[in-house]
A and B are shown apart, each in its own frame.
Chain A
Amino acid sequence: RKEVEQDPGPFNVPEGATVAFNCTYSNSASQSFFWYRQDCRKEPKLLMSVYSSGNEDGRFTAQLNRASQYISLLIRDSKLSDSATYLCVVSLNNDMRFGAGTRLTVKP
């Protein structure tokens, strides 16, 4: 079983749509959780950390369910510029494990 699993997609959605990504992780001792965004041939960039209480940053909402070892990312009112690969990242003692990413394409 992979340490971090994501649906690879691709998700093709129209502008303005709401889209949700899910991620599961295998190590129950994991301490920190993140969503990163990676554009083609670029490095990953931190989108947001994920907290147990859930957190929101503008159009982006992240949720963590420790009992189910499940993380989600919701994007509302998607923009063309949201097109990218979204990486679920799980960390234990600063050892980060990346999911393979979910590819999102937002179309006009």
Chain B
Amino acid sequence: GAVVSQHPSWVICKSGTSVKIECRSLDFQATTMFWYRQFPKQSLMLMATSNEGSKATYEQGVEKDKFLINHASLTLSTLTVTSAHPEDSSFYICSATPIGPGSRADTQYFGPGTRLTVL
């Protein structure tokens, strides 16, 4: 149980285009999902916290107009990188915290990540 999927797993795009990444919890519901970015040989950096039915909370230094987050249901959150540039190339990982009986509020299940390369 507790499987999180991401789509696509990798994407290559031209500079200036927008890329949408989906994060789905397959066998549980999550009111909160998290989006992280990881550059090579660096730690995961939290970009934003995605809340179902409300606006996402962005970390300091993350442009909300560039990284659009939508969390329209309890099993799906999307991250859209708008007008992507080469410096946005990174490994984007989402995670989700299950809700319901027996769930731990501090447990996050990670998706397999999406590798974005902007040419």
Contacts and interface: CB of A to CB of B under 8 A. Distances in A.
B44 A44 contact: yes
A8 B42 CA distance: 10
B112 interface: yes
Given A94-B32, A94-B105, A94-B106, A43 B112 contact: yes
Contacts of A45: 110
Interface stretch (A11-19, A55-63, A68-76, A96-104): A96-104
B108 interface: yes
A82 B105 CA distance: 28
A42 B110 CA distance: 10
Contact of A100 (B32, B36, B43, B106): B43
A101 B32 contact: no
A32 B32 CA distance: 18
A98 B112 CA distance: 17
B46 A41 contact: no
Interface residues of B, number: 22
A32 B107 CA distance: 10
B112 A91 contact: no
B46 A95 contact: yes
Nearest to A33: B106
B34 interface: yes
Interface string B85-118: 0000001010001000000011110111101000
Contacts of A97: 46
A96 B34 contact: yes
Interface string B46-57: 100100000000
Interface of A: 4, 8, 31-32, 41-46, 87, 91, 94-101
Interface of B: 32, 34, 36, 41-46, 49, 91, 93, 97, 105-108, 110-113, 115
